[in-house]
Amino acid sequence: MARINENYAKLKAGYLFPEIGRRVAAFQKANPDAKVIKLGIGDVTRPLVPAVVEAMRAAVDEMGSDAGFRGYGPEQGYDFLIDAIREHDYASRGVTIGRDEIFVSDGSKCDSGNIQEIFATDSVVALTDPVYPVYLDTNVMAGRTGAAGDDGRYAGIVYMPTTAENDFTPALPKEHVDLIYLCSPNNPTGAAATKEQLATWVQHAKKTGAVILFDAAYEAFISDPKIPHSIYEVDGAREVAIEFRSFSKTAGFTGTRCAFTVVPKEVTAAAGNGERIALNGLWNRRHTTKFNGVSYPIQRAAAATYSSEGHRQTRDIIAFYMENARLIREGLQRAGYTVYGGVNAPYIWLRTPAGASSWEFFDRLLGTANVVGTPGSGFGPSGEGYFRLSAFNSRANVEEAIARIGRMPAK
Ligand code: MLT
């Protein structure tokens, strides 16, 4: 008889965002007149910008003509997109990335979830806590952990608490670890690592032989000019880091799907016999075996975000969301909340009031203000007592949500 992967039984019942969706649907069913405002999942709300729509349309027309039709494209992505990425995301910041070091894909969720496949099953994984749940869950599925304890921590994972107490700057792990997941600007805390902080991680990885898996999906939201947008702005990072980037939040592609992963040729890990193997080749092998490339019209659409028009239009939308973030941050502060993030990231991270647990506050906010957010504990045990609001919504909804939260009783 076929047998299941028992590691799935170790996972918490549901992935965080579907679980929130389920609770919200139940609330709406019981309260059909409530006008619920969703600041939960970080899903964009503004339409694709005109430059992107035009490029996508033109590419669809090409595909509908004899001369322009294309079948399978290169699994790693078309050169027109890869070259635009190299020039605008990297060369413009003094970073040289080779064509064959970029792998275009359909999302950073998939890439940051799949990357663990190229590492040994007994690799020790270090995670900042709280963090985007995909990193943990995919390692649980792969069997790199024991069961979760009563405190919500999985045996075998090295948790690096990242809270207000350490100014959202996790300490280097004391024990040996093989894989270090970092996310900056951070989902969910909104904290962004400085160049010095990233340099500390790079030095640590070089010293210990660890590989850094750096998720920069939110780099477009950085407003502080001193904060690096890529880990490769740090000397030596090419030897130890893989970077994930996405068009999802940058250009409203959550439903359109396009992202990329950078695997420099220098980054290696050891084979069983001690030989150093380039991860670029392994990821290329995995990618070409399991993925057939992002569709041509979507890659043309992604490339259009780098034209001068496309860039200006997408920057306008990011500015719009960041103004939402400012309104949320300042509105919460006026209402007496302790608030973090929202300056270099589209997420606002707040302390739940009066000792309420994250899920208690979720229920209270939904029940009293009809506003949906994300409980901090859903991102890891150290997220307990925190709560995340996202800046992705219309201005009217953000203003209304903040007004309602302001009217909520303190307890
Ligand atoms: C989030 O809300 O954390 C993100 O939308 C999840 C994602 O990007 O997959």
How far, in Å, are 54, 113, 271, 272 from residue 170 at the CA level? 44, 22, 29, 31
Is 140 in the same domain as 231?
A: yes
Atom number in ligand 1 closest to CA 109: 9
Is 110 in the same domain as 253?
A: yes
Cβ contact 346:42 at 8 Å: yes
Cβ contact 358:352 at 8 Å: yes
Length of the chain: 411
Residue 247 Cα to ligand 1 middle (Å): 13
Place of tokens 């992002």: 294
Is 282 in the same domain as 382?
A: no
Is 195 in the same domain as 302?
A: yes
Residue 261 Cα to ligand 1 middle (Å): 17
CA-closest residue to ligand 1 atom 5: 42
Cβ contact 202:236 at 8 Å: yes
Task: Please say if the pLDDT value at position 37 is more than 90.
Answer: yes
Residues with CB under 6 A from ligand 1: 41-43, 109, 132, 187
b/e code 250-266 from CB counts within 10 Å (16+ = b): bbbbbebbbbbbbbbee
Residue 10 Cα to ligand 1 middle (Å): 22
> At which of 279, 307, 335 does a domain end?
307
Which pLDDT belongs to residue 19? Answer: 85
The span from the CA of 203 to the CA of 205, in Å, is 5
Which pLDDT belongs to residue 355? Answer: 86
The span from the CA of 234 to the CA of 258, in Å, is 26
Is 128 in the same domain as 225?
A: yes
The span from the CA of 364 to the CA of 369, in Å, is 8
The span from the CA of 200 to the CA of 207, in Å, is 11
Mutate to test the pocket of ligand 1, among 132, 219, 247 (most ligand atoms within 8 A of CB): 132
Task: Please say if the pLDDT value at position 327 is more than 80.
Answer: yes
Is 82 in the same domain as 217?
A: yes
Residue 221 Cα to ligand 1 middle (Å): 15
- Tens-place pLDDT, residues 42-78: 999 999 999 999 999 999 999 999 999 999 999 999 9
Give a yes or no: residue 3 inside a domain.
no
Stretch 88-96: mean pLDDT? 98
Structural domain of residue 292, as residue ranges? Answer: 53-307
Task: Please say if the pLDDT value at position 409 is more than 80.
Answer: no
Instruction: Fill in the DSSP letter of residue 373.
Output: -
Cross-strand pairs, 268: 278
Is 26 in the same domain as 82?
A: no
Is 330 in the same domain as 247?
A: no
> At which of 272, 307, 342 does a domain end?
307
The closest of 228, 234, 224, 161 to 204, measured between CA atoms, is: 234
The span from the CA of 383 to the CA of 156, in Å, is 19
Instruction: Fill in the DSSP letter of residue 120.
Output: -
Q: How many domains does the chain have?
A: 2
Is 239 in the same domain as 315?
A: no
Stretch 3-23: mean pLDDT? 89
CATH of the domain at 357: 3.90.1150.10
Is 338 in the same domain as 282?
A: no
Whole-number average pLDDT of the chain: 97
